[in-house]
Amino acid sequence: MHDAFLLAPWLYFALTGLAVLTGCVDAIAGGGGLLMMPALIYAGLPPHLVLGTNKLQSACGASVATARYHRAKLFTFRASIPATLAAFAGAAAGALVIQRFDAHLLRLVVPLLLMGAALYTLLSPRMEDAPSRPRLSKRAYLPVACGIGFYDGFFGPGTGQFFAATLVALRGLGLTRATGLTKLLNLSSNAASLIVFAAGGQVLWLLGLSMGAGAMAGAMLGTRLATRYGARLIRPLLVTASLALTGRLVWGWFAG
């Protein structure tokens, strides 16, 4: 049904170019969806297609970032399996739930969730790179990973920040290692969400793969910048842009 959904050719180039930026932002700090999802809405995609197509490009970028952070030995796959599976299960459930929402209701819910995620980015505490004493064991963290995975499947933007913040605050990881593990967990939740959305026919594959190529290029750049500059330089720009875009969405809703 959605294969016939047409976009102007210039939008493919514009959205792919934006995906380079969002892929870079996601690889460093997370939150690229705060920019990409409003752009997809402005392009005229229905809300469910926005969510599904965004998952495809996000998964592409996360795969590159995960591979590069693993190569840097910021995490090990074996030790991360339980949290990865928890994130996968939560995301699959979230993606199933969101597809039951009416598209008209989503046009109101999406801007409100964008605003909440942007405010979280703005108000989240400054995180340090030095490890600290964990407040939760690996097993006790599993419900947290599952809950964040559910949010990623249900909506998504800000998931990277949620994973990184909880890994630092609750698991005691330094910011750099938390960022590396975040990419693995985010890749798992993206993959689960993508499977569910694809099964429901809610993915524009040509657009998603085009943006995915841009996200992969951005992720390569972002992983290089992450160890040199960190997330603090990206966050103020991300917050400003996301709040501005969200404000336009909210205004557009109430202005009819």
3 within a domain of the structure (yes/no): no
The number of distinct structural domains making up the chain is 1
Tell me the pLDDT tens digit for each residue of 70-117: 998 889 999 999 999 999 999 999 999 988 876 566 666 766 766 666
Task: Round to whole Å and give the CA distance between 217 and 55.
Answer: 16
Per-run averaged pLDDT (10 residues), the chain, 256 residues: 67 95 85 82 87 94 94 91 97 91 66 67 62 89 96 84 84 86 96 95 94 96 79 58 60 59
2 within a domain of the structure (yes/no): no
pLDDT at 255: 59
19 within a domain of the structure (yes/no): yes
Which residue range forms the structural domain that includes residue 54? 8-255
Q: List alpha helices for 133-233, DSSP H.
A: 138-154, 159-169, 175-199, 205-229
243 within a domain of the structure (yes/no): yes
Structural contact between residues 231 and 179, judged by C-beta atoms closer than 8 angstroms: yes
Tell me the pLDDT tens digit for each residue of 138-153: 999 999 999 999 999 9
Q: What angle do CA 197, 251, 7 make, to 5 degrees?
A: 45
pTM passes above 0.95? no
Dihedral-angle region of residue 46 (phi above 0 means left; psi in -120 to 50 means alpha; beta otherwise): beta
